[in-house]
Amino acid sequence: MKLLIWLLVAALIIFHQDFWNWNSQTLYFGFLPIGLLYQMGVSIAAALVWWFACTFAWPAEIEDFEQEPAEKGGKA
């Protein structure tokens, strides 16, 4: 599952580059440039990937830790 999450993050980074819309003048709804609309899609996709990561790849060691007693104070 961790590998899948890393692959999804890598995909987000690749899709984020968006070289294919670099000079496109297309406007959606008459005001939203494709370059901006696409990047808004990247933001939404990022939220979905992180939801997936938190749901299916939440670190098991964290769950274990919640049961452990805490030590008091570091070296300061």
Partner 1 sequence: MTYLIAMNDGQTRLTIILIYLGLLLFLGFFASRLFRGTRDDYLLASHSIGPFLLLMSMFGTTMTAFALVGSSGEAYKKGIGVYGMLASSSGIIHSLCFFVIGVKIYRIGRKHGYSTQIQFFRDRLDSSFIGLVLFPILVGLIIPYLLIGVMAGGGVIAVMTAGAFPEWATSGNGGIPAQYGSLLICLVVLIYVFFGGMRGTAWANAFQTTVFMVLGVVAFVMLANRLGDGDSFVDSLSRITQQVEYSKLTRANMSQTLFFTYMFIPLSVAMFPHLFQHWLTAKSANSFKVPVILHPIFIMIVWVPCVLIGVWASSLDLTNVKPNDVLAFLVNDKIGPVMGGLLSAGILAAIMSSLDSQFLCIGSIFTNDIVTHYLGKDRFSDRGQVWIARSFVIVIVAVTYVLSLQGYRSVFTMAVWCFSGFAALFPLVFAALYWRGLTVYGAFSGILAMVGSWGYLFWKSDFGANTEFALHPFGKSLPIMPVVAIFLCSLLAMVITSLITKRPSDETLAKFFKT
Binders of partner 1: how many residues, by CB under 8 A? 46
Give CA–CA dist 59/38, Å, rounded. Answer: 31
Site string (17-56) toward partner 1, x via CB under 8 A: xxx--xxxx-x-xxx-x-xx-xxx-xxx-xx-xxx-xx--
Give CA–CA dist 22/51, Å, rounded. Answer: 29
Give CA–CA dist 74/76, Å, rounded. Answer: 5
Residues 57-76 that bind partner 1 (CB under 8 A): 58-59, 61-63, 65-66, 68, 70-76
Q: Which segments of 1-76 does DSSP mark as H helices, in order?
A: 2-17, 34-56, 60-67
Residues that bind partner 1 (CB under 8 A): 9, 12-13, 16-19, 22-25, 27, 29-31, 33, 35-36, 38-40, 42-44, 46-47, 49-51, 53-54, 58-59, 61-63, 65-66, 68, 70-76
